[in-house]
Structure 1
Amino acid sequence: MKTFKKIALSLLVVFCTSLIFSCSDDDSTVEPVLTPSELLASTPWETTNAKNNKNENVALTDPNVSNFVGFAYFKADGTFTMFNLNDTPKMHGDWSVSADGKTRTIVAKNDAGTVLFTRVVDITVLTKKEFTYRIYPNNDDKTVYFDIIHTVTTHPEPKK
């Protein structure tokens, strides 16, 4: 009987050990955690939708959102270029995202480097697949807004 117990215990130990070591680490790749700025610069973005404060889809041709539609290329060096969906140049300049990922600032410049305008927007979504920011037609009325939704694109950056 003692021999049977020893054999059973040995088999149990071998079985448990094989379960522990059979789990492979190959399936669990740890991706680095990106800062909000790194996340925004990690891929090109395309405007794919817009929603109003009632969560209704808004046509990208709607005058309330059409100026915010296009392809955006945020570079790690803090510069950006944007193009209309027909690949014509829209604007370029400098950009930043707050450390907490809540706002994005762009400083649009002309070809001579003169600042044309600065725009700060609230970020509502910033993931590897979506970048959404909020615009207010009237900054004094935060009840009316449009969310400009961008998704990842493989569209190559057009040449100016």
Structure 2
Amino acid sequence: MTDASVRKSVTVEAPIAKAFTVFTQDFDGWWPRNHKIGEGDLKQAVLEGKEGGRWYEIDTDGSECEWGRVLAWEPPTRLVLAWQIDATWKFDPQLVTEVEIRFIPEGPGRTRVELEHRDLDRFGEAQDQTRAAFDSPGGWSGLLESFAQQATA
């Protein structure tokens, strides 16, 4: 068994309010098209900006695939998302792991973004393989790099 969390961070040349806005309101602009769970091609990645909101995908065939919900909405410093996608990359309403994103100012035009995906032990026997996927270059670090490119553009 490994640590039940994956932690990643990135620093962007953007004020905290812009970093939060790009991460949330411009979510579709930086979320990679190959990070999806639906059968069709990803048309839009949606993050509803409120506690209790959903985050999900809309595919080119019009179908929606749930990813989870917004557990905490504290602009511009903190966001917590429920990740409800299982180890086979399918939505599971019974599974809830948490993705917390913190936005920390490092000056007027610079923000450190720290991400922690926790409660990975809830994946049971698949926790080590799932953690490895989240911890891989194609996992959270790659997603944060994609976000960073958009935030500094």
The normalised TM-score by structure 2 is 0.36
- Of structures 1 and 2, the one with the larger relative CO (CA 8 A, separation 6+) is 2
More helix as a share of residues = 2
